[in-house]
Amino acid sequence: MRVEILGQERRRRWGDAKKLDIVMSIGLDGATVTEVAHRHDVSRQQIYAWRHELKKKGLLPSTADTVFLPVDMAAMHGAPLVREDVARVSAMIELRLNDGRSLRFDSGVDPAVLTRLIRAVEAA
């Protein structure tokens, strides 16, 4: 009996170097996880699993080089604000992280809480 496989075989083997290359391409030129997954014909969940695996192996660069920058709320609204006015301003801010995730939060969020939240999301 002869068996012939037509089309692309779905079971593929990916080396750590290729996985790292794919995971690191997220965020380059604004590429999202969905876009990168589609480009490489894998699921989004597969990319997240690779990211987790690479972190466990110590192959994924740490986010220790992440830089936090102060945001001048007065400049965002175009008018000078005094400290009391900042508490009353209710604007939503969207922050895009390197891994393609986005955080949306109120502009009045405590900076220490925001820092812990970003670190928790980046570590996941």
Range of the domain at 119: 92-123
User: Residue written as tokens 């996941």?
Assistant: 124
What pLDDT is attached to residue 29?
81
Does residue 83 lie within any of the structural domains? no
Does residue 82 lie within any of the structural domains? no
What pLDDT is attached to residue 60?
80
Is 53 within 8 Å of 46 (Cβ atoms)?
no
What pLDDT is attached to residue 64?
46
Per-residue pLDDT of the chain (124 residues; tens, 9 = 90+): 787 767 666 678 899 999 999 998 888 888 889 999 999 999 999 999 999 999 888 888 765 445 566 666 666 555 555 555 545 556 778 777 766 777 788 877 888 888 887 777 776 6
Report helix, strand or coil for 81. Answer: coil
Does residue 85 lie within any of the structural domains? no
Number of separate domains in the chain = 2
Does residue 86 lie within any of the structural domains? no
Q: What pTM, to 2 d.p., does this model score?
A: 0.46
Cα–Cα distance measured from residue 63 to residue 67, given in angstroms and rounded to the nearest whole number: 9
Residue 51 maps to which CATH number? 1.10.10
Does residue 23 lie within any of the structural domains? yes
What pLDDT is attached to residue 73?
61
Does residue 73 lie within any of the structural domains? no
Residue 86: C-alpha distances to residues 46, 97, 116 (Å): 42, 25, 22
